[in-house]
């Protein structure tokens, strides 16, 4: 057998790992030791860092195929400097992430998870009455980041009777109200849904000032990256009643969740499962494999990062 050309960097879902081993005899980076010659394509999971150190360890690296629509785990600027191309897995996870985003919007407004805990604690059986909640109809849902997923979320929420507003780097050709900054969007929103990319350019885009602009009745949903929200500021705002609640699928230091959030009924906590359906993860894996095959065959990626 010829020397492998593909290397696995970090843990991958079994379907993808098995296919890479079967079709490309791809070893893991941890197992190759100093025998890195000829390894030209690295496949990485969304939580695995591919930075200068990993690139140094793979001197023949020419492409990184990243499993995930987000690619803030890859130092793209360093890759470009070295002539290394990078791909991600867009489009195939749009529906799954949009569905989960809508589920969190519904949950924070109608307090489904909190009401479930109320029943399980025996409070309803003991004669307690759960407080009234709020409807989606008539609520202003602000979408922070109107990319593919943002549009899909807006399109799902409109039939519920929500009013859609958004902020992106530039206005889009859509019928929804555009706001010129995250601060302005927060001030106009009952619920703000964070759907921007991660990375240095969006770090703490949702800071204490933006959180305060949502107000004591405002709600925050984050299905983007934990780094986009100032987590300490969010915790403080919740503790002080300056925001009504939050639905969070992502955190600043995953899998660690701030202890202060764990006992709160006004926060829905999920373990970063936005795209975690069988259908979507298999589609993402197939797109990674398509990128690997295309690069090996003709030196091009199917979904290169712009």
The dihedrals phi and psi of 220, each to the nearest 5 degrees, come to: -120, 130
225 catalytic per annotation = yes
Is the torsion defined by CA of 147, 149, 154, 159 positive or negative?
positive
Q: Which residue has the tokens 């939050």?
A: 246
Task: Respond yes or no: is residue 3 known to be catalytic.
Answer: no
CB 185 within 8 A of CB 205: no
User: Which residue's structure tokens are 């996870």?
Assistant: 93
Distance of CA 180 to the CA centre of its chain: 23
Closest CA relative to residue 142, chosen from 113, 105, 111, 91: 105
Orientation angle between helical segments 94-110 and 148-157, nearest 10 degrees? 50
59-76: b or e for each residue (b if 16 or more CB lie within 10 Å)? eebbbbbbbbbbbbbbbb
Q: Name the residue among 202, 193, 200, 192 with its Cα closest to residue 169.
A: 202
- Catalytic-role residue among 272, 281, 298, 300: 272
Q: How many CB atoms lie within 10 A of CB 27?
A: 18
Q: Which of 74, 206, 110, 90 is nearest to 151 (CA)?
A: 90
Which residue out of 8, 151, 179, 225 is catalytically annotated?
225
Catalytic residue among 209, 240, 254, 300: 254
Catalytic site residue 254?
yes
Q: Omega of the bond prior to 255 within 30 degrees of 0, cis?
A: yes
Which residues are identified as catalytic?
225, 254, 272
């Amino acid at each position: 057998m010829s020397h492998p050309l593909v290397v696995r960097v970090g843990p991958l879902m079994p379907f993808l790992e098995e296919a890479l081993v079967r079709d490309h005899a791809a070893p893991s980076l941890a197992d190759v030791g100093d025998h890195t010659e000829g390894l030209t394509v690295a496949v990485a999971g969304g939580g695995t860092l591919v930075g200068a150190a990993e690139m140094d360890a793979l001197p023949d690296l020419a492409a990184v195929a990243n499993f995930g629509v987000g690619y803030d785990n890859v130092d793209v600027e360093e890759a470009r400097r070295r002539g290394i191309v990078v791909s991600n897995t867009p489009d195939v996870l749009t529906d799954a992430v949009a569905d989960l985003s809508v589920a969190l919007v519904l949950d924070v407004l109608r307090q489904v998870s909190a009401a479930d805990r109320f029943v399980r604690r025996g409070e309803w059986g003991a004669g307690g009455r759960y407080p009234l909640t709020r409807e989606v109809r008539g609520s202003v849902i602000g979408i922070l980041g109107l990319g593919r997923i943002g549009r899909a979320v807006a399109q799902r929420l409109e039939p519920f009777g929500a009013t859609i507003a958004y902020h992106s780097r530039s206005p889009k050709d859509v019928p929804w109200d555009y706001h010129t900054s995250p601060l302005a969007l927060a001030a106009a929103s009952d619920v703000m849904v964070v759907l921007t990319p991660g990375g240095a350019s969006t770090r703490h885009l949702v800071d204490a000032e933006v959180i305060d602009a949502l107000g004591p009745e405002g709600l925050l949903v984050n299905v983007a990256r934990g780094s986009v929200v100032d987590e300490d500021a969010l915790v403080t705002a919740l503790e002080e009643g300056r925001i009504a609640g939050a639905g969070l699928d992502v955190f600043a230091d995953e899998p660690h969740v701030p202890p202060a959030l764990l006992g709160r009924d006004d926060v829905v906590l999920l373990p970063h499962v936005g795209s975690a359906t069988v259908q979507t993860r298999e589609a993402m894996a197939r797109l990674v494999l398509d990128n690997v095959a295309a690069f090996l065959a003709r030196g091009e990626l199917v979904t290169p990062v712009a």
